[in-house]
């Protein structure tokens, strides 16, 4: 709708600018008996016909671009030929409305000319003078305010996505494969299966976890922590894991130790918490504290001690803040739903082939299924990535449409002032002086657009960024870059026309008709 509005603004601007060239036509029609209503209908009809020609082009372009749009939108899209009749009616109605909206003001301006004054060659006054120029100025300001807002939004979204991709999540997700395990026999004999996986060439480490917190959230169990005369009781997010989980994901132990098979009691009596748990509960170092977890083992509370503190890690989207978290070895085999395998970068395909072959032997009735952990986390921001692509595409379109309108508007404005250009050249003005003269007024309009678009873009994008618990701050360079892109586009567009006019022979421009 924004792009359509920009196109409508272009049409209004250009049609209004061209109104002076049709002034005598209007005067002659009125002298011949045409009423204002007849002229309004004529010019509106021209606009609507133009819109219908655009519709034909749009249908062809849409059919060609459907696959690309489907890829960006992340969904299957209907072919133009399959659009149902109610939607066809909506499209036709929209085309008429766009034609009427784009042509309404020019139609009323043209039909308002007074024939006697027009035929005396005073159309410049009758076009509305400063009133029409003010309207065109407002439309140019609106057009580039929208374009600037889209550019600022694009830069901010790309910067946030870059921040997400570069942020240290507190664990290593690259070269890490997750294999869902739904076979109860495999779960019961998990240690044997894990050892078989570890024997494969290219496998660095292996472990397991109960569920996907990045998709479905954490388990939550009632927990009581006591030590040094203090006690805290609360429901605490929990991950049920297998030995070597911390090592496999490359997490950092900041205090205490990791789970280990060397300690036979770890499966039933050991817990690891994250740093946020320390901050949340006010503990300096909880290693050795007693912890009781209810409801995790068939109704029997699991009691033991905190054996370590792990550095905070993001196991969910950056939309969410890191929560106080406890990890413990899964008390029952049926919790080991997902095998995690870290691979050596140089032997990924070889390791995958070995795991598939091993899977076919131990679980022939189930297909070998896996995914990479980094891809799973990338999928958390798929909508933001699509939004970034959409903003980038439409920002480009907005600038192109704006420059097309400026090209026509500047061309017409310079055409009206060709005698002035000739006089200035005769008096010694350089090509640069003339280009600067015509560019200045458009630069002023874009500067006003920036003053309008800047605060609105800041408030809108800042609100979008607030959906992230971990986010960037809006930077001045984003606004400066957007302004620079818009100014460069305008200067190139207007200066090209101005220089072409300035290079013409001034004698031709100054000759009287």
DSSP 8-state symbol, 321: P
Confidence band, pLDDT 50/70/90 cuts, at residue 272:
very high
Tell me: do 358 and 382 sit in the same domain: no
DSSP bridge partners of 225: 232, 291
Q: Residue 361 domain-assigned?
A: yes
Residues 140 and 187 in one domain: no
Here the tokens at position 422 are: 């000739």
Tell me what the mean pLDDT of segment 120-142 comes to: 60
Co-location of 108 and 56 in the same domain: yes
pLDDT digits (tens, 9 = 90+) for 482-505: 999 888 888 888 888 777 777 777
Same domain assignment for residues 326 and 429: no
Q: pLDDT category, 511, cuts 50, 70, 90?
A: low
Q: What is the mean pLDDT of the chain?
A: 84
Shared domain check, 56 and 6? yes
pLDDT (0 to 100) of residue 464: 93
Phi, psi of 211, rounded to the nearest 5 degrees: -145, -175
CA–CA separation, 419 vs 505, rounded Å? 11
Q: What is the rounded CA–CA span in Å between residue 305 and residue 257?
A: 12
5-14, 67-76, 232-241: segment of lowest average pLDDT: 67-76
Compare 138 and 149 and report the one with higher pLDDT.
Answer: 149
Beta bridge partners of 304: 291
Which of 341, 365, 389 lies at the terminal end of a domain, its last residue?
365
Domain's final residue, options 365, 397, 417: 365
Q: Which residue range(s) make up the domain with 422?
A: 129-169+377-513
Q: Determine the Cα–Cα distance for residues 332 and 336; give it in Å rounded to an integer.
A: 8
Query: Is 176 inside any structural domain?
Result: no
DSSP for 126-184? HTTTHHHHHHHHHHHHHHHHHHHHHHHHHHHHHHHHHHHHHS--SS--TTEEEEE---H
**Whether residue 448 has pLDDT greater than 60:** yes
Q: 135 and 190, same structural domain? A: no
d(CA 179, CA 369): 6
Share of the chain above pLDDT 70, in %: 91
If one compares 135 and 222, the residue with the highest pLDDT of the two is 222
Spatial separation of the C-alpha atoms in residues 84 and 87, rounded to whole Å: 6
Output DSSP code: residue 368: -
Token pair of 87 as six digits: 């939607």
pLDDT category at 126 given cuts 50, 70, 90 is very low
Q: Is residue 63 part of a domain?
A: yes
pLDDT given for residue 21 in this prediction: 67
Q: Which residues of 66-105 are buried (b: 16+ CB within 10 A; e: fewer)?
A: eeeeeebeeeebeebeeeeeeeeeeeeeebbebbbbbbbb
SS3 298: coil
In a domain, residue 492? The reply is: yes
Return the SS3 of 112: coil
pLDDT of 342 over the 90 cut: yes
- In sequence order, the β-bridge partners of residue 235 are 222
User: In terms of domains, do 139 and 20 share one?
Assistant: no
Backbone angles phi, psi at 302, to 5 degrees: -95, 120
Residue 178 belongs to some domain of the structure: no
pLDDT at residue 116 is higher than 70: no
Task: Over range 269-293, report the average pLDDT.
Answer: 89
Percent of the chain with pLDDT over 90: 31
* Domain assignment of residue 342, yes or no: yes
Q: How far out from the chain centre does Cα 187 lie?
A: 41
In a domain, 411, yes or no: yes
Same domain? For 113 and 149 the reply is no
Mean pLDDT of the region 13-25? 71
Q: What is the pLDDT of residue 106?
A: 75
User: What is the model's pLDDT at position 270?
Assistant: 93
pLDDT value of position 127: 45
* 372 within some domain: no
Q: How many domains are there within the chain? A: 3
Query: Of 123 and 239, which is predicted with more confidence?
Result: 239
pLDDT confidence bin for 421, thresholds 50/70/90: confident
DSSP H or E run through 104: helix 85-111
What's the confidence (pLDDT) of residue 508? 67
With cut-offs at 50, 70 and 90, classify the pLDDT of residue 130.
Answer: very low
Are 408 and 456 in the same domain? yes
Q: What is the mean pLDDT of residues 327-333?
A: 87
Residue with tokens 């509106």: 44
Same domain, 209 and 113: no
- Using pLDDT thresholds of 50, 70 and 90, give the confidence band for residue 129: very low
Residue 131 predicted with pLDDT over 50: no
Residue 16 confidence (pLDDT) above 90: no
* pLDDT for residue 282 is more than 70: yes
Q: What is the pLDDT of residues 20-57, one digit of tens each?
A: 667 677 777 778 787 878 888 888 888 899 999 999 99
Give the β-pairing of 270-274 and 300-310.
parallel
What was the pLDDT predicted at 158? 92
Tell me, yes or no, whether 317 and 393 share the same domain: no
Mean pLDDT on 342-368: 90
Is pLDDT above 70 for 289? yes
Q: Is the per-residue pLDDT at 475 higher than 80?
A: yes
Q: C-alpha 367: how far from its chain's center?
A: 36
Residue 119: per-residue pLDDT: 61
Domain finish residue from 97, 128, 159: 128
Verify that 252 and 336 share a domain, yes or no: yes
In whole angstroms, how large is the CA radius of gyration of the chain?
A: 34
């Amino acid at each position: 709708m924004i792009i359509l509005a920009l196109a409508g603004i272009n049409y209004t601007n250009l049609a209004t600018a061209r109104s002076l060239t049709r002034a005598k036509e209007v005067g002659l029609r009125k002298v011949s008996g045409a009423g204002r209503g007849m002229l309004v209908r004529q010019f509106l009809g021209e606009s609507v016909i133009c819109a219908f020609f655009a519709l034909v082009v749009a249908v062809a372009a849409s059919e060609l671009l459907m696959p690309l749009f489907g890829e960006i939108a992340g969904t299957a899209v209907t072919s133009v030929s399959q659009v149902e009749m109610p939607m066809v009616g909506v499209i036709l109605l929209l085309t008429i409305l766009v034609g009427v909206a784009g042509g309404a003001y020019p139609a009323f301006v043209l039909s308002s000319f007074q024939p006697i004054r027009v035929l005396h060659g005073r159309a410049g006054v009758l076009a509305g003078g400063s009133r029409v120029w003010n309207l065109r100025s407002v439309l140019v300001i609106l057009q580039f305010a929208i374009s600037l807002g889209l550019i600022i939004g694009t830069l901010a979204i790309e910067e946030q996505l870059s921040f997400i991709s570069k942020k240290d999540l507190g664990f290593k997700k690259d070269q890490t494969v997750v294999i869902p395990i739904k076979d109860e026999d495999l779960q019961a004999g998990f240690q044997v299966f894990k050892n078989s996986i570890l024997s494969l060439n290219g496998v660095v480490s292996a472990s397991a976890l109960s569920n996907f917190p990045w998709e479905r959230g954490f388990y939550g169990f009632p927990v009581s922590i006591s030590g040094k005369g203090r006690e805290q009781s609360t429901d605490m997010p929990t991950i049920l894991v297998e030995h070597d989980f911390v090592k496999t994901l490359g997490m950092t132990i900041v205090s205490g130790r990791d789970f280990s098979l060397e300690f036979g009691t770890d499966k039933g009596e050991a817990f690891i918490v994250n740093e946020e748990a320390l901050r949340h509960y006010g503990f300096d170092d909880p290693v050795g504290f007693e912890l009781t977890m209810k409801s995790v083992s068939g109704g029997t509370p699991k009691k033991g001690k905190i054996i370590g503190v792990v550095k905070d890690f993001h196991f969910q989207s950056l939309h969410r803040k890191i929560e106080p978290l406890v990890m413990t070895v899964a008390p029952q085999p049926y919790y080991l739903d997902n095998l995690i395998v870290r691979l050596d970068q140089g032997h990924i395909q070889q390791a995958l082939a070995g795991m598939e072959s091993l899977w076919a032997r131990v679980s022939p009735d189930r297909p070998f299924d896996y995914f990479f952990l980094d891809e799973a986390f990338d999928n958390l921001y798929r909508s933001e990535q699509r939004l970034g692509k959409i903003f980038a595409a439409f920002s480009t379109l907005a600038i192109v449409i704006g420059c097309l309108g400026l090209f026509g508007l500047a061309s017409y404005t310079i055409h009206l002032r060709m005698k002035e250009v000739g006089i200035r050249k005769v008096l010694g003005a350089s090509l640069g002086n003339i280009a600067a003269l015509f560019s200045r007024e458009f630069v002023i309009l874009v500067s006003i657009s920036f003053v309008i678009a800047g605060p609105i873009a800041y408030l809108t994008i800042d609100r979008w960024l607030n959906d992230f618990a971990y986010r960037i701050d809006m930077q001045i360079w984003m606004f400066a870059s957007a302004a620079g892109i818009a100014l460069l586009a305008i200067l190139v567009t207007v200066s090209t026309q101005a220089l072409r006019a300035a290079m013409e022979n001034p004698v031709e421009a100054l000759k009287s008709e």
